[in-house]
Amino acid sequence: MPTLLIMLIVLMGSMYFMQRNQKKQAQEHMNRLNKLEKGTEVVTIGGLYGVVDEVDHDKRTVTLDVDGVYLTFELIAIKRVLTEPAVTEEAVSEVVTTDEVSEADSAIEE
């Protein structure tokens, strides 16, 4: 009888931890979907590769550009995010140029 009770407790504990892990993964997936932006490469649940063109969080839809064809999907149809959006011109202008780096290096040496 005690062996049966121990086995039951172990079974219930493992079920609890598996369910908790699945909940955590689902929450992380929803967070990734909520952060989708234009230019992000994604794969749908049907295996379609595309680039996000527009995200409507109110309607929970996403429009994908697939080789010039624009398709609208529900947000939950995105299986995984492949890449983050491409770097914008604003971000590039913030990058320190090599001239600025060499000037800073020469100032440090003095």
Please indicate, yes or no, whether residues 25 and 74 belong to a single structural domain of this protein: no
> Does 47 lie in the same domain as 28?
no
Rounded Cα distance, 71 and 49, in Å: 11
Q: Same domain for 27 and 42?
A: no
| C-alpha to C-alpha distance for 61 and 83, rounded to whole angstroms | 19
Q: What is the pLDDT along the chain (110 residues), one digit of tens a residue?
A: 788 889 999 999 999 999 999 999 999 988 888 888 898 899 999 999 999 999 998 999 999 999 999 999 999 999 999 887 655 554 444 444 455 555 555 555 55
Structural domain total, the chain: 2
Is 63:54 a contact under the CB 8 Å cutoff?
A: yes
57 and 78 in one domain? yes
pLDDT at 11: 93
Which pLDDT score is estimated for 109?
Answer: 54
pLDDT in tens, 50-72: 999 999 989 999 999 999 999 99
Do 25 and 69 lie in one domain? The reply is no
Residues 2, 13, single domain; the answer is yes
Q: What range defines the domain where residue 22 resides?
A: 1-34
Question: Does 58 lie in the same domain as 72?
Answer: yes
What DSSP assignment string belongs to 33-72? HHT--TT-EEEETT--EEEEEEEETTTTEEEEEETTEEEE
CATH number at residue 100: 2.30.30
Residues 77 and 53 in one domain: yes
pTM: 0.58
| Cα–Cα dist 53/65, whole Å | 6
Residues 2 and 41 in one domain: no
Kindly state whether residues 20 and 67 are assigned to the same domain: no
Q: Return the pLDDT at 42.
A: 93
